[in-house]
Amino acid sequence: NAGVTQTPKFQVLKTGQSMTLQCAQDMNHEYMSWYRQDPGMGLRLIHYSVGAGITDQGEVPNGYNVSRSTTEDFPLRLLSAAPSQTSVYFCASVRQGENEQFFGPGTRLTVL
């Protein structure tokens, strides 16, 4: 198993550009989520999904869109990037009914 994978590892955007951060897992986990990590703050939940076709907002959803068309993939879209979205983004997954959550290696995003 590759576990939770994220691409790209690093990305630099200009203000107003759009992009998609990719997240995939090969463990058949129903629950997937996106967090952002900023200096001096704990990880904060952006969006999550309990299964294909079902998504919901977390603590800091503004400026981000998600969709879940398959169990394996959970992409995070920035429609119009802003400097406030400069952060490290982590994807996580867990099988429903189980407890241990697994995190991807992260994507470091800089918005100029």
Partner 1 sequence: KQEVTQIPAALSVPEGENLVLNCSFTDSAIYNLQWFRQDPGKGLTSLLLIQSSQREQTSGRLNASLDKSSGRSTLYIAASQPGDSATYLCAPRDSGYALNFGKGTSLLVTP
Binding site for partner 1 (CB under 8 A): 31, 33, 35, 40-45, 48, 50, 58-59, 90, 92, 94, 96, 99-106, 108
Nearer to partner 1, 17 or 88 (CB): 88
34 closest CA partner among 97, 107, 99: 107
Interacting residues of 108 by C-beta distance below 8 A, sequence separation 6+: 9, 10, 11, 88
Contact of 72 with 25, CB cutoff 8 Å: yes
Nearer to partner 1, 59 or 69 (CB): 59
Nearer to partner 1, 14 or 96 (CB): 96
Nearest approach in angstroms of CB 90 to partner 1 is 6
Nearest approach in angstroms of CB 87 to partner 1 is 14
Nearer to partner 1, 62 or 99 (CB): 99
